[in-house]
Amino acid sequence: MTGDLLFPACQPRCIRQMAVGDGHILHVEECGPHDGVPVLFLHGGPGAGCMSEHRRLFDPAVYRVVMIDQRGAGRSLPSGELGANTTLDLVADLDYVREALGIHAWIVFGGSWGSLLALAYAQIYPENVLGLVMHGIFLGSREEIVAYSRDLGKLLPRQERGDPLAVFARIILHEHAERATQAARVWLDYQRNLIGKEPLDAPPNGMQQARARIQMHYLTRDCFLMPGQLLAGIDRIRHLPAIIVQGMADPVCPPPAAEALHRAWPEATWVPVASAGHDALSPAMARACVKALGWVVECVESID
């Protein structure tokens, strides 16, 4: 690893566009050796897409990392498409890609929205999961979503009333293009402010607008999950090696969700990272996530 605790930048070994049905075409990248330890990387958002920087969390000599831009996200097509775009659709896509790539089972690595999708996938396909590394836990509960959007109402025009997230969703998803773009920019800047980033210096581009659309689609529908669904399904994956890495100063996915997950799943290894925030690429979180993946690999190898 380099001095910033990340592995050197690398290029994908293979890039594919994979049709998964319903008109959706996924952007799929593979990094590392074909015979490496298989790892599925799940990006955040929902709708964020994978970034090249994410590859630096994985030793390119050890891991066969599969990175998928989920339906409508990133470089997947059609960009921002909401039809046939639910959590269950995304889960089915992941296993379609696994089978298409000839991978028997893999370690699932995901943070934020990716941690939710990791849990949902593992609970449906436990036989295809070797272990899990999750960070910045998000369970998709109404309480988490309300807390996340608590200050959004301050950004609404005075004449707008009601649930601020629902108002933004109506504008972004259903208003004319100019007003939808303006609202998407406000929403994206709201998110950037939470993690200490500067506002966008230009109107959102196509990928950014797609991200806003997909987030509105999921967050206003409780991420297409039943209340408490992921905690109720822990018994299906309790036997799997798993690590929960949580930044204790995470403003986006605060510790209570991770703590609730660990209470439901005490067998999972709990790794609180003091004073760390949401970004898995920050030094403290990167160190913890890289170590966590190594621990899970050791557990898998000891079981084998």
State the catalytic residues. Answer: 112, 250, 278
**CA–CA distance, 110 with 132 (Å, rounded to integer):** 8
Residue that the structure tokens 């309300």 belong to? 146
* Contact assessment for residue 139 and residue 116, using Cβ atoms and an 8 Å cutoff: yes
**CA–CA distance, 282 with 302 (Å, rounded to integer):** 30
Q: How many CB atoms lie within 10 A of CB 89?
A: 17
Q: Can you spell out the DSSP letters for 248-260?
A: TT-SSS-HHHHHH
| Euclidean distance between the first and the last CA atom of the chain, given in angstroms as a whole number | 27
Q: Which of 108, 130, 112 is nearest to 121 (CA)?
A: 108
Residue that the structure tokens 């690893």 belong to? 1
**CA–CA distance, 10 with 126 (Å, rounded to integer):** 30
**CA–CA distance, 259 with 237 (Å, rounded to integer):** 17
Q: CB neighbours of 82 closer than 8 A, spacing ≥ 6? A: 72, 173, 213, 214, 217
* Strand, coil or helix: 304: coil
Q: Which amino acid belongs to residue 298?
A: E
| Burial bucket for residue 201 (CB in 10 Å: 0-12, 13-18, 19+) | exposed
* Contact assessment for residue 252 and residue 148, using Cβ atoms and an 8 Å cutoff: yes
**CA–CA distance, 134 with 111 (Å, rounded to integer):** 5
